Amino acid sequence: MKTKHIILRSNSLATRDVWRGAGTLQPSAAGPVGQSLSSESVVIDRHAIPLLTRDAGVLAIAPAMPMRLVAPFDFNGAAIAAQTVTWGVHAVGADTSPFNGDGIVVAVLDTGIDSSHPAFAGVNLVQKDFTGDGNGDQHGHGTHCAGTIFGRAVNGTRIGVAPGVTRALIGKVLDSSGGGSSDNIVEAMLWAVEEGAHVISMSIGMDFGGYVRQLTDSGMPVELATSRALEGYRTNTRLFDSLAEHVRARGLETHPTLIVAAAGNESRRDQNPDFEVAVSPPAIAEGIVSVAALANAAGGYETAAFSNTGANVSAPGVAVVSAKLGGGLQSMSGTSMATPHVAGVAVLWAQQLAARNALNGFNLIGRLAGTASSEHLKAGYDPFDVGAGLVQCPQSA
């Protein structure tokens, strides 16, 4: 049976050359590119894969798997209490930081954006649709996430960690139902790198169950469909590993790009303390910063009951107030909401490093993870649930 596969290629450079900073961004007929990278989607028989892998330029091959947004909790339009600064912006120290994100480019790969929302006034929004639905946001998830990263104050409430951002890349990779495909995600990531993103924020996850259903609907027995889905899960993770590694290597010598992704919301600690699910792709990939969600509780910040375990860092992810589709504000909860906080903090660190002429990939990840703190976490927390701790913004120039 022939199925769609993603082929990640190195256009002209060997991996060792990327580490030396050789080459430039190469245009490709196959789509967006990062340094020496391109992707293409082809319909092939799985038995053709070994032949394709003999090509020295092929870095990874994986079936295109369904992706979905990391679905938030408390997705409602209830009235928002008056506040000057959201608790998330305060918790990461953005409200006391001397930086605001000016001069740093951030990419949000999600459901699009409501470009008419007052939270994004004055921002150059570079939009590209990878779903076929057209630009804009018919869901609301992407608008909320973008607001947390760089949204301006709405009705007197500061919602954005980095409200000084003036250029944002909005890759619409999920449709109005919150669904997408891994081939579109890869293409969008390469597009964001090409367009100069310093930080890429992705609140998306792999839809393993959806892929099993897709295969069984095509007539495949359940056992075989599950086996193929597991194979696809493994090869997609390896593909994201390879992509993130090449992007990271490029950033050591040239323009750095930090990729941040949501850990996932499948845990259920409120039902059973042992009901903890591990970080899911693409966040699990080596070289991508995975993000857990924290709640604001009595006695300190605590891991959200739904937050997947094993993340690299953590951030506010419960009752997060941000931009609402159509105007106004809305509260949502999820690792989807924690991820843009981390992306915003990374933007501020990138601005500080750029001011010191020290912005590269190594320094950026070092500042982000190295300054994360457990100081205000509730006693008894599990380090494996929160990673390096709650990310913190730079507090000095």
The DSSP line for 161-177 is: S-TT--EEEEEE-S-TT
pLDDT of residue 218: 87
Neighbours of 357 (CB within 10 A): 6
pLDDT of residue 79: 56
pLDDT of residue 18: 33
pLDDT of residue 229: 85
Query: Could you say which residues of the chain have pLDDT below 50?
Result: 13-35
Residue 336 falls in the annotated catalytic set: yes
Catalytic residue among 141, 144, 198, 246: 141
Distance CA 30, CA 387 (A): 37
Domain ranges of the chain: 2-63, 66-205+245-386
Q: Cβ contacts of residue 332 below 8 Å, gap of 6+? A: 72, 73, 74, 75, 141, 144, 320, 322
Q: Which of 309, 304, 308 is nearest to 270 (CA)?
A: 304
Catalytic residue among 38, 314, 331, 336: 336
Residue 141 falls in the annotated catalytic set: yes
Angle at 369 between CA 108 and CA 157, to 5 degrees: 50
pLDDT of residue 70: 80
**Long-range Cβ contact pairs of 20-25 (< 8 A, separation 24 or more):** 20/253, 21/250, 21/252, 21/253, 21/254, 25/194
Number of residues that this document lists for the chain: 397
Distance CA 394, CA 353 (A): 10
Instruction: Please name the fold of domain 66-205+245-386.
Output: Rossmann fold (3.40.50)
Give counts: helices (H), strands (E), the chain: 10, 18
Catalytic residue among 36, 110, 242, 331: 110
| Full-model pTM | 0.90
pLDDT of residue 289: 97
Neighbours of 34 (CB within 10 A): 24
Angle at 37 between CA 33 and CA 38, to 5 degrees: 60
pLDDT of residue 253: 65
Query: What 3-state DSSP class applies to 22?
Result: coil
Contact status, residue 316 vs residue 393, Cβ threshold 8 Å: no
Residue 36 falls in the annotated catalytic set: no
Question: Would you give the DSSP letter of residue 48?
Answer: G
Q: Pull the structure tokens for residue 117.
A: 């929302």
Segment 76-106, tens digit of pLDDT: 555 577 789 999 999 999 999 999 999 999 9
